[in-house]
Structure 1
């Protein structure tokens, strides 16, 4: 077994009533893949550095959420919300006729994975959450910060109407890298910004060597899922015995004291829950993919192992730990005994 190649992919377009959901299906397209969902204001390019480190016996379908990347925008007059984003998971499953889904989400994508898994646990076989557990809990302070969203959303609608007649301000790639990095509080350094820019900018028709942001400005003011401590805890209680991996960036604040109760519930009732911390900021999967991949690969091999027919224990021994080799051998011999008993 090897790893996925960033150049081995199929561009996909999943139908939606307002247009389409854009994505890239990397690697194996004969088996049900992992569905990877990016974070707020990002796009599927945030997985670029992680994809080549994942095992190639499983494919990975990365999608752009509506209004992000190359996916269609919602019609004028509509707004974006977490509740509608959660429904995207179900739309993708319906498109490919999946009865189960394996989820990997960063930030907003991890929030969507958490909510969907809690609401439809029978349809999820595993979750990988990258630097997130749950959305911000409701508080008076948080509500006051959201109140300006209404006016700003209307401003973005006016800008969208103007864009149909005039090209928006454009910038050099160096300027765009700087702007994007600052917008993530340097979680995405300028030298890594190109992984996100290639799906979120359009080349200017007026000025050579200049580009402008093409994502829908309304996504900046989406409606967050109303999350109170009691609701967050109850959602966690619904996720029982579900393989659930959480990887936190050491310098990130997205997993904090408000997540402790949910993590405690997931850990106490779920023998398949894992929590690891890796050096890095919020986009740790993009900037430190090697360390992140170590935990993901081990998790995948345990909970979605390769087909037995493709196993080569001699080749695997170089990469598996002693404990993992023993478990792999036990599964292999168990399968062999069952096969022989049927002969």
Structure 2
């Protein structure tokens, strides 16, 4: 069996009351795909390195969240927030007539996937979470101050009157992406994000500017009190759930220990792996390592539909590959059992 091609996609637009949700549907378009959701300030290009490593029998629909990439901005007066983004999932499901959804999310996309799965577990059949479980816990006083600052800055951006945003050379924007990600996205990989989020300046033709809605920088991230986080995690029950952590990333830390313990309890479909040397964008700079765990997980929980006319040896091959994957996952789960 082959893998997806980064050039085999269909541009899609899902209607929304404020405009549309933009996306690219890679691979198989005859069956329900995996819905892939990017992280904070990113866009669907974040999955460019991972897509060519995934099995080609299943499609992957990567979307730009509102205000990101090529998706429409929210109207003036609206605040970007995690729960607002979460509603994109049922909106996409309704547009395509899905009763179930398979989710893959990085960072903010992983938070959104967790929230939706906890609130609507009956409609989710599997989750792949890349370097995230829950938002980082903050001291209450600091959290309140941060929300206040975001509200004020959101109003400043809303009132800003400019013919177009400040523009820069592509080299400068590449460095800006690296700096903004705290070097989690190195300059060599920045191109995967830039191709969806910059436009050429009309004032200075040799320069470009970020086309995203600058209000997304002040997205309201929900703060989880430990008790609420645990109760929400319990609702996920025995749902197939894969978490991949970058070893040098702080986003899956001590505040996730109890939720991970709950996800692990009595759930033979929960898997957790740590990629050595991985930073927060582990799926970009360590895509092959991530695929080692993601591909067997997909094949196990979203296997190909085999017909009698297409078995000729493939069934045995798939069984052998799944068994090898099962043994490797068992070894890794044993290795990471202390987490």
Structure 1-normalised TM-score?
Answer: 0.90
| Equivalent residue, structure 2, for 1:158 | 159
Corresponding residue number in structure 2 for 1:30: 30
Which of 285, 288, 291 is residue 289 of structure 2 equivalent to? 291
Give me the whole-angstrom Cα distance separating, in 1, the residues matched to 2:87 and 2:237: 22
1:244 matched to 2:244? The reply is no
CA-CA distance at 1:269 after TM superposition: 3.0
- Aligned residue-pair number: 323
How far 1:77 moved relative to its partner? Answer: 1.3
Tell me the equivalent position of 1:143.
Answer: 144
Q: Provide the C-alpha distance between the structure 1 equivalents of 2:110 and 2:322, rounded to a whole number of angstroms.
A: 32
Residue 79 (structure 1) aligned with residue 79 (structure 2): yes
Q: Partners of 2:72 and 2:249 in 1: how far apart?
A: 31
Q: Which residue pairs with 1:332 in the alignment?
A: none
Provide the residue aligned with 2:331 in structure 1.
none
SS in 1 for 2:265: helix
**What does residue 103 of structure 1 align with?**
103
Aligned to 1:204: 201
The answer for the alignment partner of 2:120 in structure 1 is: 120
Given the alignment of the two structures, is residue 269 of structure 1 paired with residue 266 of structure 2, yes or no?
A: yes
Q: Spell out, residue by residue over 1:88-126, the C-alpha distance to the aligned partner (whole angstroms, 9 max, x if none).
A: 000000000000000000000000000100111010000
Residue 156 of structure 1 aligns to a residue in which SS?
Answer: helix
**Structure 1's 192 and 320: CA in aligned 2 closer, same or farther, altered over 3 A?**
farther
| Unaligned 5+ runs, structure 2 | 328-339
1:177-224: per-residue Cα shift (whole Å, max 9, x none)? 001100000000011101001111110112222100110011111122
Q: Which runs of 5+ in 1 are unaligned?
A: 328-343
Quote the Cα distance in structure 2 between the aligned partners of 1:265 and 1:155: 41
Counterpart selection for 1:307 from 305, 308, 323: 305
How big is the shift at 1:319? 10
- Structure whose alpha-carbon radius of gyration is higher: 1
Q: Summarize the Cα distance change of 1:312–1:238 in structure 2 as closer, same or farther, 3 Å threshold.
A: farther
Alpha-carbon RMSD: 1.9
Give 3-state SS (helix, strand or coil) of 2:36's partner.
strand
Number of the residue aligned with 2:52: 52
When the two structures are superposed, what TM-score results if normalisation uses the length of structure 2? Answer: 0.91
Q: Would you say the 8 A contact 2:296–2:325 is kept in 1?
A: no
Matched, 1:193 2:190: yes
Confirm or deny: 8 A CA contact 2:70 2:197 kept in the other structure: yes
| In 2: Cα distance, 1:245 partner to 1:113 partner | 12
Query: Could you tell me how far 1:315 is from its partner in structure 2?
Result: 8.8
For 1:64 and 1:214, how far apart are their aligned partners in 2? 13
